[in-house]
Amino acid sequence: MKQTLKILKVAFQAINKNRTRSILTMLGIIIGVAAVIMTISAGEGATMQVQNQISGLGTNLLMIQTKSEHKAGINVRMGKPIYKKDFEILQKNAIYMPNLSPLLAIGAQAIGPDGYKSTMVYGVSYDYFYITSREIQLGSFFSDEDVKTARKFCVIGQTIREELFPGQDPIGKQIRIDKVPFTVVGLLKEEGSGGMGQDMDDIVLAPYTTIQNRIFGNRKRGYNMILASALSEDHIVDAKIEATELLRESHKIKANDEDDFEIMTQIELQEITSNITGILTLLLGAIASISLIVGGIGIMNIMLVSVTERTREIGTRLAIGARESDILTQFLIEAVVLSLAGGVLGVVLGVIGNQIIYKATNFYIPTAAYSILIGFGFATLVGIVFGYFPARKAAKLNPIDALRYE
């Protein structure tokens, strides 16, 4: 024990003797640990936002769309489109889905009296607002009657208001979408950024019948999807089974044939997004870990220089009875201490960095406890691995050759 304390004392004295060099050596580890903590924590924050965004849609959401496969980087449609007759069959016969809304999506330019904005325009029914829990700040939603008669009404998000009607009340005013005039009847409450960074207020909602007839000019065009809400969370499986049976009948699918449509529940959507953000977090953490390896190489280089500078000291210690294991332990401790000190400072920098990002961007980044353990553990491992070679070189020096070294 006494011998170990003596070796520790000598190691700390050597580090303290060259404080500037020691700090510069630790810099790679500090940056590496901070980068690992910040990237993993950012991934956790993104996952939380995605989950919160999906949860905001309610726990009984279903999305019904044409079956597709991902090929060569694009989604290829593998089944029949979802048509009006499918919607009507669901609307007429569904017991477990009281609220249904077609969804037609198109990217278009919205033009107002004071500006224009490229945005997404969604054709929906009145039930859409209930299904997605979107709330109105000014005006009102368009009604079922407006949908049936294909009125040129729309509800806009806060971003559209700021671009087209800065500082004004937009209710009753007109915007043009693909040369078609729409009257603004409602302004949505601000919702902010979605889980994947998209602006949830950069949106225009209009009756799907109007979008189908006036924008697409094709009443027989299929829908992008149908949104539905189950009676309750407990009935979401029943609703999915019911929708599957009704659509198979509508599409005349034989008993042994696969569905040509997909029905995704909110729980399944959460699982998919969690997997995606988990992979991204792992990837970012792995990239950040490269800087720790670079820091480890820096420690190895400096320790090799230290061994060369202290060759005569090593020779003297070996000559008066020090064992190879004592020399090995001393230099290994020096490398590990440098890594651990860099790890501690890196943890502090990472936590502070998360707070700075939160204050600057309002993007909440929870400092994940496991990210600290990963960063600190990796720093320790780097110190041992990259410190062993210089320490072994020092321990294997010939005492006579070391004493002759100039």
Q: Indicate if 135 and 225 belong to the same structural domain.
A: yes
CB atoms within 10 A of CB 114: 10
Helices and strands, counts by H and E, the chain: 13, 12
Cα(57)–Cα(128) distance, rounded to whole angstroms?
A: 11
For the chain, give the number of residues.
406
Q: Indicate if 258 and 280 belong to the same structural domain.
A: no
Low-confidence ranges of the chain (pLDDT < 50): none
The beta strand positions in 201-338, using DSSP E, are: 203-207, 225-229, 261-265
With residues binned 3-state (H G I as helix, E B as strand, rest as coil), the percentages for the chain, rounded to 5, are 55, 20, 25
* 90, 251 contact by CB (below 8 A): no
Give the pTM.
Answer: 0.62
Residues 6+ apart with CB under 8 A from 232: 60
Q: Indicate if 101 and 16 belong to the same structural domain.
A: no
Structural domain count of the chain: 2
Last residue of a domain, one of 206, 231, 265: 265
Tens digits of residue pLDDT in 127-167: 998 888 888 999 999 999 999 999 999 999 999 999 898 88
Strand 115-124, strand 203-207: pairing: parallel
Last residue of a domain, one of 205, 230, 265: 265
Q: Indicate if 157 and 228 belong to the same structural domain.
A: yes
Last residue of a domain, one of 265, 282, 317: 265
Q: Indicate if 228 and 157 belong to the same structural domain.
A: yes
Q: Indicate if 116 and 140 belong to the same structural domain.
A: yes
Cα(60)–Cα(58) distance, rounded to whole angstroms?
A: 6
* 363 token code pair: 């993007």
Q: Indicate if 258 and 113 belong to the same structural domain.
A: yes
Q: Indicate if 176 and 277 belong to the same structural domain.
A: no
Q: Indicate if 137 and 107 belong to the same structural domain.
A: yes
Q: Which of 80, 206, 184 is nearest to 139 (CA)?
A: 184
What domain range is 306 assigned to?
2-52+273-404
Tens digits of residue pLDDT in 78-122: 667 888 898 889 989 988 888 999 999 988 889 888 788 888 999
Whole-angstrom CA distances from 92 to 86, 98, 390 are 10, 10, 78
Q: Indicate if 108 and 160 belong to the same structural domain.
A: yes
Q: Which of 51, 119, 78, 59 is nearest to 273 (CA)?
A: 51
Q: Which of 119, 130, 122 is nearest to 103 (CA)?
A: 122
* 244, 259 contact by CB (below 8 A): yes
Q: Indicate if 227 and 121 belong to the same structural domain.
A: yes
- Nearest 5 degrees, angle CA 358-CA 361-CA 365? 35
Cα(72)–Cα(212) distance, rounded to whole angstroms?
A: 30
CB atoms within 10 A of CB 143: 14
Q: Which of 167, 151, 163 is nearest to 205 (CA)?
A: 151
**What sign does the dihedral 175-181-185-190 (CA atoms) show?**
negative
Strand 136-139, strand 180-188: pairing: antiparallel
Bridge partners, 61 (sequence order): 229
Bridge partners, 139 (sequence order): 186
Q: Indicate if 180 and 218 belong to the same structural domain.
A: yes
Cα(121)–Cα(73) distance, rounded to whole angstroms?
A: 24
Q: For residue 326, which amino acid is it?
A: D
